[in-house]
Amino acid sequence: MLSNPTFWVLIATAIFVGLAIYMGAAKAVTAALDKRGEMIAAELAEARRLREEAAAILAAYEAKRKAAEAEAEAIVTAAREDAERLAKDSEAKLADFVTRRTKSAEDKIAQAEVQAEAEVRAAAAEAATRAAETILRNQVGGKTGETLFAAGLKEIKTKLN
């Protein structure tokens, strides 16, 4: 047995493991593994925290986007309402303008009719006066005719005015 190399490798390995245990290598390996596990756990916690922070930022931007969309929709709705209101106001103003213009034209036409009627009456009265003058001059002569003519002329003028 002392000449078998496997026996000597077994003894050397046992001595090495014994010295390693005696010197605290197991504790050092365990401590290093524990330290490495804690470091990995800290990195995982940091990654989890960053993920939650990113999710919160994403939620905040989503809320801002939705608020901006709602505000844009409100602006568009208000613009449409303003445009409709302005169109209605314009239509009402146009209708009022047309009504006023029509009324003004009708008033001018009525005024022109009254004026034309007055001019026709004046012309008719003037023609009647001339005709009466001519007839009376031919039938009544002298001073009596002139007196009758003057009286008739006064009477016609007072009736026309």
Longest dimension (CA), the chain: 195
Q: Count of H helices and E strands in the chain?
A: 3, 0
In contact, 160 and 121? CB cutoff 8 Å: yes
- What is the residue extent of each domain of the chain? 5-160
Q: How far apart are CA 154 and CA 141, in angstroms?
A: 19
Model pLDDT, residue 74: 95
> What gap in Å lies between CA 74 and CA 76, rounded to an integer?
5
Q: What is the pTM of this model?
A: 0.42
- Torsional sign, CA 6, 10, 15, 19: positive
- In this predicted model, what pLDDT tens digit does every residue of 85-128 receive, in sequence order? 999 999 999 999 999 999 999 999 999 999 999 888 888 888 88
